[in-house]
Amino acid sequence: MQLEKDGFLYTDERVDPLAVYDLLDQGRMLNNRSQYLVEESLRHSYCLSVYDRNKLIGFARVLSDYGSVSIIRDVILSPDYRHKGIAHEIFRILSSSELFKRTNLVLWSRLDVPFYHEFGFKQLNRKIFLKPSDLEQ
């Protein structure tokens, strides 16, 4: 999938692992993950990258079994590109994708912002249990 909109390229066809690592690092979203672990997570995820020319400016990935559940992770946008509709387009693409239409979309985020509700996301009232990786303990 490739889409050009407002001068930005949205694509699931090319991922620059080093650029993703750097973007996550700048956004303080690495959570103790090494470059190797970031590359491994990309290899096992559906990845959506946003480019301004050849510069990675936005990113999101989805972990999915493509039958019942899909988890959106690592949504990040370079600060210089905020408030330009890019995050909105990322969520529009992911939430309308044929790949994930049969699944419950779960957004893994520390924040509950009204923006997410525009796409039908609701904060869960249920308990979610997490066994942290050895890196996070």
What is the reported pTM? 0.89
Does the structure show a pLDDT above 70 at 130?
no
Task: Residue 29: give its domain's CATH number.
Answer: 3.40.630.30
Q: Which residue has the tokens 């999938």?
A: 1
pLDDT tens, position by position, 43-62: 999 999 999 999 999 999 99
Contact criterion met (CB below 8 Å) for 112 and 122: no
pLDDT, average across residues 73-83: 95
pLDDT tens, position by position, 100-129: 989 999 998 877 778 888 888 888 766 666
Does the structure show a pLDDT above 90 at 70?
yes
Per the structure, the complete domain to which residue 59 belongs is given by 2-136
Cα–Cα dist 40/10, whole Å: 22
* Domain count along the chain: 1
